[in-house]
Chain A
Amino acid sequence: MLVIKDLHAKIEDKEILRGINLEVKPGEVHAIMGPNGAGKSTLSSVLAGNEKFEVSEGSVSFNDKELLELSPEDRAREGLFLSFQYPIEIPGVSMVNFMRTAVNEHRKYRGEDPISASEFLKLMRDKKKLVEIDSNLTNRSVNEGFSGGEKKKNEIFQMAMLEPKLAILDETDSGLDIDALRVVANGVNKLKSPERSTIVITHYQRLLDYIVPDYVHVLYKGRIVKSAGKELALELEEKGYDWIKKEFED
């Protein structure tokens, strides 16, 4: 599904990703962990197509398409979803309008007719229930005045609406209390399917108690320096990142 080969990316001449290799197959859950500044969020931004970063080397194929050649919107329409670490507030744009526009753009891309008003409302209702999002959040402007937890739940709700093939959850657990964390993780788990893959980016192991990964990778200084099964997360929780740093110090 996703094959990343020797990916290098920089921002303002500062190289942040220095040769990432990663393969994600359908249905798999991969966790990417690592200390602050390792390049975790850069990786997710680059995959989603944020033009702030410049890809200097490497290739990414997504469902046999050259991902890096696609615009951000086409990546989304191809089925890539990024749950933002810091979702943006857009006052004046209602959640309903925002989601309907997004859903219809996806449908147009697939050659389908726009969704009818009643179908759309039903879809919203079903997905809200699925991810246990407070019903009146969707009556407000996009993320405006949402608490940290509400914003993250809203990301998962959007994911449920758009039904991506690959979801990248960028630090979705940061700043969440345990209850909100559980709601977010439940949402993710309910959307799990043999075709749908997930990349969970996190600093801590706690989220991985709820969203159990098939693989854990450690990102350090722009490279994946260690990959193993889910037990690696526990080891990192226990020992911290210092031993990794020591082992891979340039």
Chain B
Amino acid sequence: MNVACRIVNLQEEYIKLFNDQKSLLQSGAPKKMNSLRDDALKIFEEKGIPSNKVEAYKYTNLQPYFKGSLNVAFTNDAAHNDITQHFHCEVPQLNTYNVFLVNGWFSAKDSDLNLPDGVIVCSMQEAEQKAPDVFEKYYGETAPMKEDSLVAMNTAFAQDGAFIYVPKGVVLDKPIQLVNIMTGDEDRLAFQRNLIVVDENAQLKVMLCDHTMSSQRFVINTVTEVFAKENSVFDVYNVQNQHNLTTQVQGIYVHQKKNSNILTNNLTLHAGIARNNVNVTMDDDHCESHVYGLYLSDKNQHVDNSTFINHAKPDCQSFELFKGVMDDSATGAFSGRVYVAQDAQRTNAYQSNNNLLLTDNAKINSKPQLEIYADDVKCSHGATVGQLDDEAMFYLRARGINKEEGRILLMFAFAYEVIEKIRVEPLKEQIRGLVEKRFRGEFDKCDSCVVCGQPGSNASCL
């Protein structure tokens, strides 16, 4: 069922929406999801949609984007139509296991026959039956509902999303691709909630691909919780490719155990307003985490990456690198908090944020924060903001390369460091090509799916 609502005062209408639709919200959702809703709503009611008065959202006032006339689907009707049939990733070198979501609702997936034994990929709604213990144990355990009102909002409202469980010792050789398609004839607000558990000594790579298939205004609040158990290896690549009327809040919350190795990479190729939260808690010794991001913005786009790396235990390492290229009047923000707990000795934490501003109107706010309470640590952080290097440009031109081509080469040279961090070779190739196309201005995100090149809507680029 679809409910159209007009939001003027934010909390007021959202609380009413929740209370009016409570029975639909709860129907079919797992018990653990429903049990957290009331508390979550209270937190949301108290804190509201963050404005720039909230320190963590200082550079991104989200309130205007959550206002206006928005439709919310409280049942999964749309997910059952044939939209996903238009969407088959057929790029042979990009061999993935595909899962489709429509407006945040689980819609379709490839046959399970292709999955190793014991691996579960299903909707959140089904997860309670398929993996009751795992779901009960992990759902809501690492997303910081109390600290972040948007996580609270998601916890109150989200009804579905994808659930992935990889059992002990299983290595998935193919990445799982979660494609969320935003579509419909009305402006829409969607909540998506994912839960990923990678058990001991297991390995999983996930791609989150967000795609808009119609030209309506979309507001998406996604929360993905990840648990990486002992000795596990987990990668998530968040490929953002949405039109300029989209607002997306994407939270990835990772909880790590001993010797686990995780990587997150937010590749924001095209987005209207994007706010990415990445939290990593290293809750055991000898964890390793890699947190990367690349954002390419132009026109009036805005990208805000906010990360929190929590070195709670000793002997862990974290590597963080975010790079951005901002053109036209694009604005952006990066804030990276690294916390080293008192007994987290022998921590290595490196953070860096580099930005390339191509015009006088482009703007970036970069805020690195180190909080260190241990005494035997190696930590570094740095932020740079610069323009294209005139000397390098002259070097290229002196070889006969024209200014425009030189500009593309140099922008690509700037971005490539983040692309090199991708640990899925075909995806790396694909992203390389896409980034180059983006810089050439040949990249029309409305034409096709960013990853597999499948035709999308004919909506013009806004």
Interface residues of A (CB under 8 A from B): 48-52, 71-73, 75-77, 81-82, 84, 87-88, 90-93, 97-98, 101-102, 105-106, 109, 141, 158, 162
Using known A-B contacts A48-B398, A102-B401, determine if residue A93 contacts B391 with beta carbons closer than 8 Å. Answer: no
Q: Known pairs A50-B394, A75-B398, A76-B397. 4 more at Cβ < 8 A? A: A72-B394, A73-B402, A76-B399, A88-B389
Q: Interface code B163-179, partner A: CB below 8 Å = 1, 0 otherwise? A: 00000000000000000
Count how many pairs of residues, one from A and one from B, have CB atoms less than 8 Å apart in the complex. 77
Chain B residues 386-423 with CB under 8 Å of chain A are: 389-392, 394-403, 405, 409-410, 412-417
Q: How far is the CA of A46 from the CA of B403 in the complex (A)?
A: 18
Q: How far is the CA of A90 from the CA of B409 in the complex (A)?
A: 9
Using known A-B contacts A72-B397, A73-B397, A76-B397, determine if residue A90 contacts B410 with beta carbons closer than 8 Å. Answer: yes
Q: Write out the residue numbers on chain A whose beta carbons fall within 8 Å of the beta carbon of B417.
A: 91-92
Q: Write out the residue numbers on chain A whose beta carbons fall within 8 Å of the beta carbon of B397.
A: 49, 71-73, 76
Query: In whole Å, how far is A153's beta carbon from the nearest beta carbon of chain B?
Result: 16
Using known A-B contacts A73-B402, A109-B400, determine if residue A92 contacts B416 with beta carbons closer than 8 Å. Answer: yes
Using known A-B contacts A91-B416, A93-B413, determine if residue A105 contacts B394 with beta carbons closer than 8 Å. Answer: no
Q: How far is the CA of A81 from the CA of B400 in the complex (A)?
A: 9
**Are B392 and A90 closer than 8 Å at their CB atoms?**
yes
**Are A73 and B401 closer than 8 Å at their CB atoms?**
yes
Query: In whole Å, how far is B415's beta carbon from the nearest beta carbon of chain A?
Result: 7
Q: B-side binding surface: helix, strand, loop or mixed?
A: helix
Number of B residues near A (Cβ < 8 Å) is 23
Interchain residue pairs with CB less than 8 A apart (26):
A48-B394, A49-B398, A51-B390, A51-B394, A52-B390, A71-B397, A72-B398, A73-B398, A73-B400, A73-B401, A73-B402, A75-B398, A76-B399, A88-B392, A90-B396, A91-B417, A92-B413, A92-B414, A97-B409, A98-B401, A101-B409, A102-B399, A102-B401, A105-B401, A105-B402, A106-B400
Q: How far is the CA of A84 from the CA of B392 in the complex (A)?
A: 11
Query: In whole Å, how far is B388's beta carbon from the nearest beta carbon of chain A?
Result: 11
Q: Write out the residue numbers on chain B whose beta carbons fall within 8 Å of the beta carbon of A101.
A: 401, 405, 409
Q: Write out the residue numbers on chain B whose beta carbons fall within 8 Å of the beta carbon of A71.
A: 397, 402-403
Q: Which of A49, A72, A101 gathers most chain B CB within 10 Å?
A: A72
Q: How far is the CA of A102 from the CA of B405 in the complex (A)?
A: 10
Q: Interface code B262-281, partner A: CB below 8 Å = 1, 0 otherwise? A: 00000000000000000000
Q: Write out the residue numbers on chain B whose beta carbons fall within 8 Å of the beta carbon of A90.
A: 392, 395-396, 409-410, 413
Q: How far is the CA of A124 from the CA of B415 in the complex (A)?
A: 27
Interface residues of B (CB under 8 A from A): 389-392, 394-403, 405, 409-410, 412-417
**Are A88 and B405 closer than 8 Å at their CB atoms?**
no
Q: Write out the residue numbers on chain B whose beta carbons fall within 8 Å of the beta carbon of A109.
A: 400
Using known A-B contacts A50-B394, A51-B394, A82-B398, determine if residue A73 contacts B403 with beta carbons closer than 8 Å. Answer: yes
Query: In whole Å, how far is B86's beta carbon from the nearest beta carbon of chain A?
Result: 35
Q: Write out the residue numbers on chain B whose beta carbons fall within 8 Å of the beta carbon of A91.
A: 413, 416-417
> Please, which residue of chain A has its CB at the minimum distance from the CB of B411?
A92
Q: Write out the residue numbers on chain A whose beta carbons fall within 8 Å of the beta carbon of B394.
A: 48-52, 72
Q: How far is the CA of A87 from the CA of B400 in the complex (A)?
A: 15
**Are B405 and A105 closer than 8 Å at their CB atoms?**
yes
**Are B400 and A102 closer than 8 Å at their CB atoms?**
yes
Using known A-B contacts A51-B394, A52-B390, A91-B416, determine if residue A77 contacts B400 with beta carbons closer than 8 Å. Answer: yes
> Please, which residue of chain A has its CB at the minimum distance from the CB of B400?
A76
Query: In whole Å, how far is B402's beta carbon from the nearest beta carbon of chain A?
Result: 5
**Are B409 and A93 closer than 8 Å at their CB atoms?**
yes
Using known A-B contacts A88-B392, A101-B405, determine if residue A93 contacts B412 with beta carbons closer than 8 Å. Answer: yes
Q: Write out the residue numbers on chain A whose beta carbons fall within 8 Å of the beta carbon of B398.
A: 48-49, 72-73, 75-76, 81-82, 84
Q: Write out the residue numbers on chain B whose beta carbons fall within 8 Å of the beta carbon of A75.
A: 398
**Are A98 and B399 closer than 8 Å at their CB atoms?**
yes
Q: Write out the residue numbers on chain B whose beta carbons fall within 8 Å of the beta carbon of A76.
A: 397-400
Q: Which of B402, B405, B410, B412 gathers most chain A CB within 10 Å?
A: B402
Query: In whole Å, how far is B365's beta carbon from the nearest beta carbon of chain A?
Result: 25
Q: How far is the CA of A109 from the CA of B400 in the complex (A)?
A: 9
Q: Write out the residue numbers on chain A whose beta carbons fall within 8 Å of the beta carbon of B401.
A: 73, 98, 101-102, 105
Using known A-B contacts A51-B394, A76-B397, determine if residue A92 contacts B405 with beta carbons closer than 8 Å. Answer: no
Q: How far is the CA of A77 from the CA of B403 in the complex (A)?
A: 14
Q: Write out the residue numbers on chain A whose beta carbons fall within 8 Å of the beta carbon of B414.
A: 92
Q: How far is the CA of A69 from the CA of B396 in the complex (A)?
A: 19
Q: How far is the CA of A131 from the CA of B399 in the complex (A)?
A: 18
> Please, which residue of chain B has its CB at the minimum distance from the CB of A159?
B399
Q: How far is the CA of A84 from the CA of B398 in the complex (A)?
A: 10
